[in-house]
Amino acid sequence: MEAYRVEVTLAFVAVYMVFCVVVGLWAMRRTQDASDFFVAGRHLGPFVVALAVFSSTLSGFGFVGGPGLVYSSGMSSLWMVIVAGFGYSIGFYLVAKRIRMVAGVRNALSLPDVVAARYNSEWARGLTAVTILLGVMGYLATQILAMALVLQSLLSATETFADVSLLTCVAWSLAVLVFYSVTGGIVASVYTDVIQGAIMAGAGLLILVAASSVFDGGLPEATSIIMADDPEAGLPFGTLGMITALGWGFVFGIGLAGQPHLVTKMMMNRKISDNRLIFPVSLIGYALAALLWFSIGIVMRATGLDGSMPMLDAPDGAAPAFLATFAHPLLAGVVFAALFAAIMSTSDAFLNIGTAAVIHDIPNALRGRSVENELFWARVVTVLITLVAAAFALYSYYGNERLVALLGAFGWGTFAAALVPVVVFGLNWKRATAKAAVVAIVASLLMNFAVEIFSIRLPFGISGPFLAMTTSMSLFLIVSLIDRPPKLAEDIERILDL
């Protein structure tokens, strides 16, 4: 089987892609209107929502970038992962119940719909939608590029496709993604998420077993090898230091509640009481999938240091090199399928909220109503957003790296800084005002953009999003306390009492 490693891996990836296409065709029959397309008619069961929530959390970055970060800087990046218990708690205690209530009472299709209902403000809706759209373009471009590069690396190892171009790989990857996202909307997205989530959790567990067997003493021995070279790399804050690690913990923990692709999933369950099951299942699934992040990174750094593995060209090569060296071909196949699953599950979630922003939220903010025939335009705009994001990705790769880096700054940290105060305080405090929401969003965007555009490096590795998020949350509360108390709609007032 070792001789057919690449073929086995490609077979797993191909089977997974075919599955996505089949789900797209099946979901098309269940997608009758815009409510089905964007929020699956709000009738999903608890396991489907739980797997959709956690598989959207862990993008391709978790499978490639995460192990690469551990390889390059030891334990620092694990703070993005270990805070999941607190992060999911913030999401479920502060958002899950009331966002579902507002969605049910106001027939909300998107996060900006909920924001508009809560604050009775088209400004708040419009700014939320614009933030989402900017973030979606950056996130999608990086996901598309990652997917195409991985596919190219796999195909170029075969004789038939040895010279396959990046453009061809972009086209093939996107053909599948666009097909099931356009035909089945969020229904296809969440049902592919179920399989994607299961593959990711299973792969995480299996990789932990494989990684533990590389050294006789398991992962503790790998850690001791790392610490013999540089103690800080194996201590809890890694080589990047305490403030960088704690900043990541803050932004990835509390910031989870501001991720539009996640909190939108919290609007889709059939019953609010299902949250009692959704929370633990999504947390356990995430923890299992994230084992891969830690175990591959630690083993690859240790084998690099003790000379049992050649040096890597780049830290992001840690996961592919581990799979090629230490994983059984079948396991490598599963993990590569999981990698595509991770990328696609995040991409389809972003496609969905980006499309909602373009055809539903921004028109509503500007002229008080959505476009006619939302379902048709949702499908058209899904294709257009994918094409624009792909163009960004290719332009960035061949021409200007700063473009996607700039939009990439509108990733997790910027969503967190802009939307956490708006969502978390807005859904839990009656005194929160629309003016505060506008100030918090604008201030956080300006701060994050400024840090990125001017390449500002802060002492001790303090991250821009950490500073921006603390500032926007503080500003939100101060402006709300200074502003006149808002007059809430009766239904919103009653929801906030529950």
Partner 1 sequence: MALTDVRLIHGILALLLAILGVLIALLIQGGPEAATGAAHPQIPGMNVGGDGLARLGGMGWLMATLQTLVLLLIHALLALGVSERHRTSVFWVLVAVGAALSMAVWWGMYLSYVTYLADGTGPLLFGYPVSTALMLFGVFLAGSYFCGLYIWGFRRFIFPEEDEAAYEALRAEALTPRKPEQEA
Could you say which residues in the range 437-466 bind partner 1, by CB under 8 A?
Answer: 458-462, 466
483 touching partner 1, by CB under 8 A: no
Let me know if 226 is exposed, middle or buried by CB neighbors in 10 A (0-12, 13-18, 19+): buried
371 touching partner 1, by CB under 8 A: no
Q: How many CB atoms lie within 10 A of CB 262?
A: 24
Q: Which residues contact 22 (CB under 8 A, 6 or more apart)?
A: none
Residue among 237, 252, 377, 392 that touches partner 1 (CB under 8 A): 237
Which whole-number Å values give the CA distances from 303 to 72, 79, 326, in the listed order?
13, 23, 11
Residue among 110, 131, 181, 223 that touches partner 1 (CB under 8 A): 223
**Which of 307/399 has CB closer to partner 1?**
307
Coil, strand or helix: which one is 444? Answer: helix
**CA 232 from chain center: how many Å?**
29
Tokens of 269: 């369950």
Q: Hunting for tokens 């071909």 — which residue is that?
A: 329
485 touching partner 1, by CB under 8 A: no
* Interface positions, 242-261, toward partner 1 (CB under 8 A): 242-244, 246, 249-250, 253-254
* Interface positions, 102-121, toward partner 1 (CB under 8 A): 104-106
* Interface positions, 117-146, toward partner 1 (CB under 8 A): none
Q: What is the chain's Cα-based Rg?
A: 22
87 touching partner 1, by CB under 8 A: yes
Express the helix, strand and coil content of the chain in percent, nearest 5 each: 80, 0, 20
**Which of 87/320 has CB closer to partner 1?**
87
Q: Find the shortest distance in angstroms from Cβ 236 to partner 1.
A: 4
Query: Whole-angstrom Cα distance, residue 14 to residue 10?
Result: 6
Strand partners, 269: 44
227 touching partner 1, by CB under 8 A: yes
- Given a contact cutoff of 8 angstroms between Cβ atoms, the answer to whether 105 and 495 are in contact is yes
**Which of 14/284 has CB closer to partner 1?**
284
215 touching partner 1, by CB under 8 A: no
**Which of 1/314 has CB closer to partner 1?**
314
Residue among 24, 304, 329, 465 that touches partner 1 (CB under 8 A): 304
Residue among 235, 388, 403, 406 that touches partner 1 (CB under 8 A): 235
Residue among 27, 40, 50, 75 that touches partner 1 (CB under 8 A): 75
233 touching partner 1, by CB under 8 A: yes
Side chain identity, residue 245: A
Query: In this structure, what are the phi and psi dihedrals at residue 44, rounded to the nearest 5 degrees?
Result: -85, 150
* Interface positions, 373-432, toward partner 1 (CB under 8 A): 424-425, 428-431
